[in-house]
Structure 1
Amino acid sequence: MQKKILIFLIPILFCDHSFSQSTAFADRVNYIFQPTNRSAVSTGLLMDYGIDFNNITDYTGVTMVDSNYVNMDQWRSLYASIYSYQFNTNISLPEMNIINNKIDSLYISSSVAIPIVALHYNYEKLRNDAVSAGLVTISNDQIYDVAGRTQSPYQTKTVFAITPVQNEFRQSSIKFVFKPELFYSNTGKNITNIQVDYGSGYTGVIMNTPFTIAFSTSGNKELKFKVTYNDGSIFYSHALITVDVSTSTLPNARYVQGMAPVNITATKPYNDALGSATIQVMFGNNNTSGKIKKPLIVVENMDPWKLLYPKDPNMNYTVTSFLAQKDNGGISTNTFSNTLLKDELEAAGYDIVFVDFTDGLDYIQRNAFVVEEVIKWVNQQKVISGSIEKNVIMGLGTGAVVARYALRDMEITLGTASHNTRLYISMDGPHQGFNIPVGSQLALNAMDKLSIRVGLPLFFHVVNVYDYFPGTNKYIKVFGSPVYLQLMNYNQFSTIVPEMTNFLNEYKTIGYPISCRNIAISNGSECGKNQGYTIYSYLIRIKGSKGYSYLQQLALSYVASFLGPYTNLLTNTVLQFWLAPFSTKTSLEWDFWIKSLPDKEVKQVYNGQIYVRRVILWSIVVYSYVCGYEGCYPGSSTSSMIPLDNNGGGTKSIIPANIVSLFPSYVSNVTELKENYDYLPTYSALDIGGGNISIGTPDLSAKYSNKTPPAPPKNVPFNNFISAGSDNESTLQFTKNNGTWLLNELKNTPVNVDCSGFCAGSYTITGSQNVCSNNETYSVTNFPNSYSSFNWTVSPSTGIVNVVGSTTSSQITLSPVGSGEVTLNATISSICGSQTINLTRKIWVGTPTAPSIQPYNYDAQCGTFLEAYCTEPTSATGYIWNLNFGQVIQDQDGNFTNYFYISPLINNPRQGQRYFNYLSVQAKNICGVSATTTKQFNVGPVPSSCGNGGPLLLVVSPNPTSSSLNVSLSNGKEIKQIRIVDKVGAIRKQFSYASGGINIILNIADLSADLYNIQAFDGVNWVATKFIKN
């Protein structure tokens, strides 16, 4: 099973520098409860005494909602919470490792049945009003019982949760079984009935009797559980599982016939052991002989399924996976002829011979010796069938390294013609190693033997975090497996320092097979494009305070790609966990981060600072460190490490984009998060220099085009190769581009694909921003016509413009039929793939829409001023304001011209009179002016308080202005001081006039274009108004 592994950051975070048990939390809570009579807690479980690793109060068994779905990791976190609640000797819960061992002993195989595990515990918590009700007192952060109390300060609660012990499946029909040994409870009740609903209503099931559920589609599936007890009480729980049925059946009825699997063992040992494999053969529909005639031998990539899912062979990556999947090296992908690569191979008559290693993580040499026996066996089968076809051998990922080693070793030991192979294909093979971020390795490495002490002083209970995430031990074993030691760059799990160096020296020494054509596919960008971020960037940073469950679910998403993009289960698996709750009683406060590698510098690339915080009875705070100020074993890069993480190559997703877009708003604590990292560097997939030269930082971003291949000593040693187009692709991804190129190679009509035209950089759609009354033509700049296959689209497609002529030529002409905004897209296709160029600006057709006058403000009593804004319609370049049908006209272009101001509005208003004023505005652009919007402003009846000519006013002109401003008072008095203030209240200019000034001219040319407030002082009063600086 080639799989995206779900590794959790939580175990990584819970550590201290000595890798010993952290006792800070236990010491603190034991001090708090030291005076308390522990025997008063009848269940022996006290919530306030422990750590809420999950929001346990959501799992009451009463209702089933999004916040209480259960999976095995949620179940373990709930059990961890209950385990930490142990307050007295009334109860003694088994440690998690005992439960894990029990699960392992009962989970025989997925073909037998998947056990279901359950927990049902009663526990107690302090009443929220325990102090105010006089049941306990608090002194010096210690809780004391009140003598003679008539009520208990504790209230009883229940937690109920059920889930299968495995939550991911690659099969359509799954067997489950309830085992009484896996039903953990302290309720004392007896179960009388168990029912399960998986979409068709509740059905009764029996303990120890397997039942089967069949699924026809992939995705998240809800399993509802209903348990009835002998006292009539009923409890509910529901679990989410993720099902992938894509490999259960092959689409299009292709490659449906095969022969029985054949077990082959090597005859040559490596390190005193023989490797072996199962050979799975599928014939094309045109081959009805049942014999191999035209073999395509496929050597699988490293496959950790036996370490990660040892009891579920359905998780194994097999020939069915290879034929059915659209990624992960699968060939159900389209070619440029709009047919599947799989169908093209079948049409060409190829029989698939798939090599499924017994140990997919074994030494390259040991598995290569197995491949040699496979080749010999295939050649024997061809003799039986009378075929004279030579072999084609394709290696996926590390399988490419295995296949190359096998072919060359056969030539050396048996002769150049021994393998009878005409074509060797390396599909994104790590000929110079693959990459997993060092920071992520260090973070995982920091989790060894991590634990937190909780519980009674004389009976300390230890929460070994790795017991609650047992998969982490398996992941560490994977990273320490032979193939990882031989091919993972900067392996932090290697105890044999020269393992990779020794292998690569041997590998380059034996070289390439010489009696066949050698070709390579790289999913790295031909343009040398990086991953979209700089060296030494945060790959992830989590800073803030959230519940344990929050960190658990985020961690699941982040490190899901460590061991490879091997399954399409990831998206649904991660999304289901965002429904999980957050604990509010206990929270973690942290600053955890992982950074990409710097360039040959010693810098910290991993850090974690973690504290546990709990509040008891509203006032007592437990704040205990788990990792101190310096973090949990902060790890650094070395001066020999080049920045692999952010550079070009076949990528793995840190978090897939479709998941990122669905993250809820509370992910604000994730202050940094990158999407991808470079897993298979382009230089490694193309084996630059054949392993004979030192790779430096410039090589990571070099352009590798087979039209102009790099010269020695940094040459590509393959006879032909292809890289991705302008962007890096997911590792082991067959595309239209490389799939079509591969078919040409298989047909003995090789082509050299040059995608350098996609490296030119920024392409733009040129043409007018506006379409007025005449047609406008648009085209793409800087794009080489030799690669052009255009498809233009306009949205909306009707009512605003018509397309004149073709939508598939290198340019498009638009004809106006209405007004409004349209978006123009150009999709450019070629042998290099497809690139969509989006117009960076919107195109406006016709005149602007009419603006509305809002907001506005004016003096309705005396008419001393009127100010108004109007909305800014799309494409408007200026505005025409008209007061009282031509009394005042303001026609201006540019910023802030949607503002109108006049003072006074009414000159010398008369007492008792009414004045009717009309202000209109039009927006304008290059095509003309919009319709008019008019608003009426009535003044009066004018009261006597307005006086002769109204109150004191500050008069400024011209307004707007670009250089000078005339300033005076309406009563003709002298001005002593002037201040100009910007929109945020900062004084931008200030003037003083000792002898006073009546008509003052200010130079304001140095002010930036904006709206300003101007204030004047006459020795008694300050008055103010506004002006616009253009």
Structure 2
Amino acid sequence: MKKIIQKLSLLFLFLFCIIGISYAQNVEENQEVRSYLDGMFQNLDKSKVPHGLLRDYAFELVNLERYTGEKLEENNYVDRQTYEFLLRTIRSSAVATKPFGEVEDILTRQYSLGGKKTVSISGMAYQYSVIKANALEDGLIKYENEKVYDNVKNGVWQNPYQNEYVIGFCPQDSILFGTSLTFKLDRNCWLTNLSINKIELDPGNGVFRSISVGGSTSVSFGSTGSKTMKLKVTLSNGTQLLSHSRIEILDSKIPGTRAGGVVSKRIVTGTSYKGVQTSAEVSIQTRDGKIKNPLIFVEGFDPVDNPFSRTNPLIGYGAGHLNKLLDQLSKDENKAIGELLLGMFDIVYVDWIDSENYIQANANTLIEIIEWINNEKVSSSNSNIIIGQSMGGLIVRYALKTMEKNNKVHETSHFVSYDAPHLGANVPLGILYALHGTISFLENKEVIGHFINKDKKTGTILEFAERLAHCNAARQMLVNYVDFAGNIENSLHNSWQNELATLGFPQGEKGRDFKMIGIANGSYSSGYVPSSYLTADFSGSSDLFDIFSIWAPFVAGTGVGYVLDDIWAGLLSLLPGKSTLKGNIAVNPGISQGKKITEIKLKYKKKILWMINSSRTVFSYDKNMPG
């Protein structure tokens, strides 16, 4: 099980790398910070900076002091994220010409050169400068008004710089398949400003071998598992620089598609909560028909499908289902992770049949599912790993903690909460009012509300919108719930939050390692409130209808009055002239009390005899930000 946990950590590392890389790109391109640094160092003679690279001028995304190449330690392993940060830091330190091209282009080329049996290596080794720690005290520089100046004594320029090395490398993937691999070092993926005598690579079998820039070396590993790659660079002056990176070697026979496994389905119903029972369709893909290492995906709020009107029993309920997950894992950009998951785990997908109902009721159903999985598992020593997406994270939290409270064994080692609203879903009030206004319009205009977009899965738009806005699960999660009358009514949300806070988080079981991991979509950039969330205007007219209203005014008037459910609009349409239906919707943020945050209007306009303008407001809805 320890190996499985180690391998699973690679998956979480992959997710955090994506978030971290996005952050690094934003920082490096921050013009405000760059302008500040330009101003601070504008008076330095840049031609005197050795190598043209100044650490003090850089966006230091990693601590360069860890990667000097002097010795290999636990805190200076280089993964793909760290390697990118090293490249971006060195590139941003250039006081004149950049030492190499765009980092993204280098990494893209590296990745494109890798393959199933080929490992593409990219590496960098640089000497850069840094202002000495005691430069100001020793009079080597001057610092006035947040600006740095060279210092000259008796006509002699004082050198404030000391030189340092930095080295790093990584393969295109940290997860590699097969024990026979070829490692290549492409010329465009090796970056340096040093005079180098020799480059040696230990691919992970404990033996260093020479590798030239543009060359390759092949190796056969005696076993799969975790390996440590090492790079040794010998400079012309005899100095040796070291770097290391971790890789995971997996069996090349690991199944990478759903065809390699066995898929089964079952319906599970939980015990009732406040008289409500819910069910879920549980889809399981095992490697050989037996559940050994369960990886359980628990979906979130998915109120799309009516379970009694499905035509394809293989698709699943709602928008999320096992097939969709497997399709995502089979895409090229997810292939390495997909093969890892499908090779190591038995995939269990919990697809709610009634996701709109009480979260507690669905948590009761999940408890039944967990207990069933534990009974079906080959060994109870193999822990469950559960990933809850959005509302699914709340359901998992409630289910695991309730099981612990009731002395039930859940056999779970990892609980991953992905974008779960543990403190509530803070949807802008203007958007909620817009939804309420739309429902009000469809209720007010029964003909349109009954026929528009009628679908056997969702019913009419009105039916679906009401399910979406007023179901128990939405009321529990929404920080502000707008009721049928358009009022804010948060009693169910407040009671749910109080219950959840009192319950707390799962703590794990005695004798079994337990970790909780939280992942959230977000941004490191400063908060931005737009002036408007949505502004839309529309209009429609028909010359054919205008002609028809002349020849059959009663029929045309009756039709308009019936469809719009407005007798005055119907009477207005009896008159000859140009007919136009105009509408607008505006949804704004509630930045101050009394500010209009939602406005919806629909007007029937008539240009009588094509000369005189007249109009009838068919529907009007507006809301201001409450206090």
Q: What interval of TM-score do these two structures reach, taking the shorter chain for normalisation?
A: 0.3 to 0.5
Greater helix content: 2
Greater strand content: 1
| TM-score w.r.t. length of structure 1 | 0.29
